[in-house]
Chains A and B, each alone.
Chain A
């Protein structure tokens, strides 16, 4: 039996997915980035510097917490939580931004831009820009600016300029369009820190590598605590960076089920969902070929999720490849079930998860009862939910009349 591997070819293709579909102006910058990244990856000094900042500034490694009450309540497998909520800034996004800011230093690019949905990536980018002394512009859909006002305030406190984007659906996809346009215009002096495993090559591979610290730590921690690999790992998928970071180091361990959870919004049978892998088809969005939610003419569809971080009609190309090759399975969870899980996690473990993460927990509740107490499951607790409490309070007030 050959071990499952996933490596992009030299042009960033994972089979039919990935590649580079961008205006010509930025292709040389992508070449330059790919070259610098390959060099940095092979340079022990870069790895040492990255490790230093991940340890001393981000607070890695993050714990793998045994969720005793959840385990007892569901009566299925032992449940562990990978605590990315305890990383600095409260989500996994910082793993990637630390890596990319060190790369921007190496490339000598003096200005940073980013897109953000829920605001977690924007905060993580603003944070490293403050620490390393870079001017920072964050594009954010005006709809998300409303939904995530706490994170907007945090970014501004950190010295970043938040530019609300009024075009299209005014969410993550439009913020990404606008960031790409900024990059096309200012490519000579600007590095674009993409926040997920999406976009043109080399971003999907590079962001995956920076996020793989999640899965590498988890793998070692489970082996220490349980003396064996987990039976399944579960993570939410918007663009898919926390999920790919968790999955990738387990990809060759074929006994480990890799389960991604997308946002079903108001239901995948309605038009208001963000289940790209479940309901989309091959297309091109934001510089890569992947599953895309689109109409028959190739116009990108509006996604919907109560969670701004999952409200995206695309997904990372390597996830599309994992799905196509049968290495990972992808499920979807509705707004209602995610909101319910949000409160459930808070009450059972004393952890308020991000709404994005709550989708993974809602799916855990569905599958844990089908598993045996001899089994072990890890949930990637990708972020904490302080940013969401206002939105959730409003939703609950609405529901309770």
Chain B
């Protein structure tokens, strides 16, 4: 069984025929060596504008994000709070589609930003309509590394897992404070790249505190994640929270506050440097956090 699920997903290097770690696994290995945690930064593809998303992603990467999550907007999101709902809505109005999301990924990679993993995040139905195998293949070809599908639990993910594995695409699943030990074990078996731990019951959106139950939750997941890194998201909005969560988790996801910043300052010519500076301040909070 253990051969079937290695510590990190191993992908065949296209040219040399030698095996290498996936971009995500590589990143976590490098961070561990530096005693840093991963800063995972989210933006919605297409908000403020489809043609400006690639430069927003570049700003996240240049600011020090270790992984970028690119949101595929969906008309009827169930897991998102008001900020990302509104952002998805604007993105759809601006004409964003899954093929255009992949185009953004290609633009980012074409700008020479090769090292930072890019993860696509969205709802299941757009992927289902695109076609599972085709989506995984096209995403990998564009330069994306994995996907988080917020309404696709491991119970329903058999075909997706096969298609993604065949393409060398990481499958990131979510766990929540309500998850039982059995569900943690199921996710541990199916997840590659990292496990996304939802910090609280609820939808996305910045909050001011860190839930008391979080350390125990991360510990419980870690015990069943089979070595897959655990990143925490939902409700994280400032460097203090990032530092607090970095003490326990392998990575911290920041989303709504970045989406909000990009939207609020969309007409400001300095918006990208504002974003880059803010990301740098979040990234600084992941450094040198001593594990408890």
Contacts and interface: CB of A to CB of B under 8 A. Distances in A.
B89 interface: yes
Contact of B183 (A11, A24, A286, A297): A24
Interface stretch (B20-28, B123-131, B250-258, B267-275): B123-131
B155 interface: yes
A177 B129 contact: no
Given A185-B203, A284-B125, A300-B75, A23 B155 contact: no
Interface residues of B, number: 41
Interface stretch (A25-33, A120-128, A315-323): A25-33
Nearest to A25: B176
B126 A297 contact: yes
Interface in B172-189: 173-180, 183, 187
Nearest to A31: B180
Interface residues of A, number: 37
B76 A300 contact: yes
Given A28-B180, A167-B85, A294-B125, A23 B76 contact: no
A174 B173 CA distance: 25
Interface string A281-314: 0011111000010101111100000000000000
A173 interface: yes
Contacts of B130: 297-298
B201 interface: yes
A22 B92 CA distance: 22
Interface string B215-239: 0000000000000000000000000
Contacts of A167: 85, 89
A294 B128 CA distance: 12
B97 interface: yes
Contact of A177 (B76, B126, B155): B76
B156 A25 contact: no
A181 B78 CA distance: 6
Given A27-B183, A28-B183, A186-B201, A20 B155 contact: yes
A23 B98 CA distance: 21
Contacts of B176: 23-25
B198 A298 contact: no
Given A177-B77, A184-B79, A187-B178, A21 B151 contact: yes
- What 4 A-B pairs are tightest by C-beta distance, nearest first? A298-B129, A298-B126, A25-B176, A185-B202
Given A25-B178, A27-B178, 20 more contacts: A21-B124, A21-B151, A21-B156, A23-B176, A24-B173, A24-B176, A25-B79, A25-B198, A25-B202, A31-B180, A167-B89, A181-B81, A184-B79, A186-B201, A283-B129, A284-B124, A287-B78, A292-B125, A294-B125, A298-B74
27 contacts: A11-B155, A19-B155, A19-B156, A20-B153, A21-B152, A22-B78, A23-B78, A24-B153, A25-B202, A28-B178, A167-B85, A181-B81, A184-B79, A185-B201, A283-B129, A284-B124, A284-B125, A284-B151, A285-B125, A286-B76, A286-B78, A287-B78, A287-B151, A294-B129, A299-B74, A299-B126, A300-B125
Interface of A: 11, 19-29, 31, 167-168, 173-174, 177, 180-181, 184-188, 283-287, 292, 294, 296-300
